[in-house]
Structure 1
Amino acid sequence: MTAEEVLKKIKLIELKSKRRLNSSFLGEYNSLFKGVGMTFSELRPYQFGDDVRKIDWNKTAHFHEPLVKIFEEEREMTSILLIDVSGSMNFGTRKQFKNETAAEISAILAFSAIKNNDKVGLILFSDKIEAFIPPKKGNAQVIHIIKTILDIKSINKSANLNLCIDFLLKTIKRKASIFLISDFDIGDYEKKLCILSKKHQVTGIRIYDRVELNFPDIGWAHLKDLETGDLKWVNTSNKSIREQYSKEYKKLLLQTKNVFTKCGSGFINIATDQDYIKELFNYFKERH
């Protein structure tokens, strides 16, 4: 896209996101993320029903009356968007490409974080880290994130999620809410994902195009691997080829969901032509 097209797309995504962020959605988003810990607030006299473990015995001895420590939850969170920008994300046959859906979902999540007075950051990855925006607050941060996503040119590379997780663990020390957006055609990453999930709250958002579920019968087709650039002729009229493709793809879907479940992380499937606001809302509500 040209600079003018990028700015136009940013404006459209911004308007669309703000228009669809209603109080119900923000309420569910807020309820999902409970904060990262407890901070000391004040001392007050012991009251019937208080947990005796909260009594500050030093202060109690000093003031000659039982005093308890009151703690408040740390509400401010940090959200990190991890987005796969490898070649397979540059595909779509319905409403839009997978990477465009990823950009819109990222905008919704980023604006939700800002509305919740949280920080939001971005990591774009393929077989390396393509871009990193440290977490900050404010609408300008969201616009910067959207522009960075849209500015990334089509990358004919595979995705290395393990490398991305290593980078995140070294960079983001405090507990954060991680949204990992990809089509998850990215090899073995279970071990690293489980390590990440122990430290952070992780949600996988898998973007797919419906034609990937059931390959259409269009005769002989010259297909290109978007990650390697390899070309290959395939007879899509061959029923056994289509069935084998569908079987392998659905197997990959199940494996991906099982990996996230095993690691204690959340997971959502979203099609490029699907109402992603509804899917996100239902997910937040269910997790809460």
Structure 2
Amino acid sequence: MSWLDALRRRLPRRRAPAEPEGPSPVHVRRTDLLALQPLAARLALGRRRPPGRTRVGLHTSRVRGRGLDFEEVRPYQAGDDLRLVEWKVTARTGRPYTKVFREERERPLHLVVDFRRSMRFGTRSVFKSVLAARVATLLAWAAIHDGDRVGLTVATDRGHVDLPPGGGKRGILRVIRVLAEAHATEPDPEIEPPGMTPLFEHLLRRVSTGTALVPISDFQGLDDNAQRLLGLLARRTDLFGVFLYDPLETEAPPAARYPVTDGVRRGTLDFTDPAYRRQHHAAFEARAAAVRAAFVERGAHLLRLSTEHDLGDSVRRLLHARGQGRSA
């Protein structure tokens, strides 16, 4: 049991305070997610379409053939289409060469948003769970802008909520509705939060091969078995993880006792013990390194985002990193 879980078990329930004006830092509300549409539009306008791309909603596959995007010129092989002979190179070299194209196919996006208990925490702008919902919403809008279909799985302490892939305005509204409804259910302190293994097992049964899979989580509970399942997902999907964390997890604040709240209950964190402060920092760095290694060693990519980072810049980095096929 983590220190946050232990604290929650001891705290009495209180009536939730009145919501401040503007986006809620602790709740996922439909109005807040809908209000991200102008930012999503700016992010979409700032993205460059690959040269020669005449349609949106298509992604290059590993299948080579006579498709939409030219890839290379190579020596002619028996069985190649004679209509694709590259005559200029053939004449210059004296050997037959042919053009190769990369076929484009639709690739649905499947977002995985973690609303488990460890995500209901934040000391800066927002809870990690709220940031996860906002990142997912912006990614969904970007995908739908490109003509892709978007599916969703929400992980909670009680299980999983799934939304099959859909597109268009109806698709994004369904994503927003499911995110808001799933987050509105408060975690039960009597239920032990599951690790990542049940979620990855669920995704292996549900997500189609070739899907762009984006889990957005703090990846608490990424044990050896979960890492094995992550490897299976990486072989079947285009996997790109988003690792969320709060600054308090990376570095202990100045020695003092700090009030904390989960939006309903309040308590105090004691950071006056030097040994605990050192242990606190080391534990996070070890977990962060393990999460990164779990993705990179399996050929997947990972983006690390803090709750204090600017949302627009964070998603812009994520979209750019995905486009470049690298971690960030």
Q: TM-score, normalised by structure 1?
A: 0.78
SS in 1 for 2:286: helix
Q: Which residue of structure 2 aligns with residue 261 of structure 1?
A: 296
Q: Measured at CA, do residues 73 and 184 of structure 1 come closer, stay the same or move farther in structure 2, by a change above 3 Å?
A: same
Q: Secondary structure at the residue paired with 1:17?
A: helix
Say yes or no: does 1:102 pair with 2:102.
Answer: no
- Alpha-carbon distance between aligned partners in 1 of 2:210 and 2:48, rounded to the nearest angstrom: 23
Alpha-carbon separation, structure 2, partners of 1:130 and 1:94: 28
State the 1:108 CA deviation.
1.7
Unaligned residue ranges in structure 1 (runs of 5+): 42-46, 57-67
1:121 and 1:236 map into 2 onto residues whose CA distance is 41
Query: Using a 3 Å threshold, how does the CA distance of structure 1 residues 196 and 221 change in structure 2: closer, same or farther?
Result: same
Correspondence 1:101-120 to 2 at 5 A: 101-120=131-150
Q: Which amino acid aligns with 2:228?
A: K
How far, CA to CA, are the matches of 1:36 and 1:216 in structure 2? 48
Whole-Å Cα distance in 2 between the matches of residues 32 and 276 of structure 1?
24
In the alignment, what sits opposite 1:238? Answer: 273
- What does residue 276 of structure 1 align with? 314
**Aligned partners of 1:81 and 1:106 also within 8 Å:** yes
2:57–2:146 CA contact under 8 A, matched in 1 = no
Aligned partner of 2:121 among 91, 112, 117: 91
Distance 1:251 1:32, change over 3 A: farther
Q: Call closer, same or farther: CA 1:145–1:176 in 2, change over 3 Å.
A: same
Amino acid across the alignment from 1:279: R
CA pair 53-272 structure 1, distance change in 2 beyond 3 A: farther
Distance 1:235 1:109 in 2: 37
Work out the CA distance in 2 between the residues paired with 1:32 and 1:264. Answer: 22
SS in 2 for 1:276: helix
Deviation per CA, 1:163-182: give whole Å up to 9, x if none: 22222222223320100110
Within the alignment, does 1:201 sit opposite 2:201 as a pair? Answer: no
Mapped to 1, the partners of 2:74 and 2:255 lie a distance apart of 75
- Work out the CA distance in 2 between the residues paired with 1:122 and 1:176: 12
The one-letter code sitting in structure 1 at the alignment partner of 2:193 is S
**How many corresponding residue pairs?**
266
Partner of 1:16: 39
Q: Map of 1:203-218 to 2, 5 A cutoff?
A: 203-217=240-254
CA distance in 2, matches of 1:186, 1:50: 52
Deviations 1:176-233 (A, max 9, x none): 0100110111231110000111111111101111111112235346879x8xxxx997
Does the CA-based 8 Å contact 2:74-2:100 persist in structure 1?
no
Q: 1:74 aligned to 2:104?
A: yes
Pairwise CA RMSD: 3.6
Instruction: Report the equivalent of 1:60.
Output: none
Structure 1 residues 149, 251: closer, same or farther in 2, change over 3 A?
same
1:191 pairs with 2:221: no
In structure 1, give the amino acid aligned to 2:78.
Answer: V
Task: Establish whether residue 51 from structure 1 lines up as the match of residue 77 from structure 2.
Answer: yes
The answer on 1:166 being equivalent to 2:201 is: yes
Q: Relative to structure 1, is the Cα distance of residues 69 and 190 closer, same or farther in structure 2, using a 3 angstrom cutoff?
A: same
Deviation at 1:254, TM superposition (A): 0.6
Do the aligned residues in 1 keep the contact of 2:218 with 2:243 (CA within 8 Å)?
A: yes
The change in CA–CA distance for 1:282 and 1:76 in structure 2 (over 3 A counts) is: closer
Counterpart Cα distance in 1 of 2:75 and 2:119: 56
User: What letter corresponds to residue 197 of structure 1 in structure 2?
Assistant: A
| TM-score, scaled to structure 2 | 0.70
Gaps of 5+ in 2: 1-17, 20-27, 68-72, 83-97
Aligned-partner residue type, residue 198 of structure 2: L
- From the superposition, tell whether residues 7 and 171 of structure 1 become closer, same or farther in structure 2 (CA, over 3 Å): closer
Cα distance change of structure 1 residues 163 and 25 upon mapping to structure 2, 3 Å threshold:
farther
Aligned residue number for residue 187 of structure 2: 155
Identical amino acids, percent of aligned pairs: 20
Q: Hey, what does 1:138 align to over in structure 2?
A: 168
- Of 24, 46, 61 in structure 2, the residue corresponding to residue 35 of structure 1 is 61
Q: CA deviation at 1:23?
A: 3.6
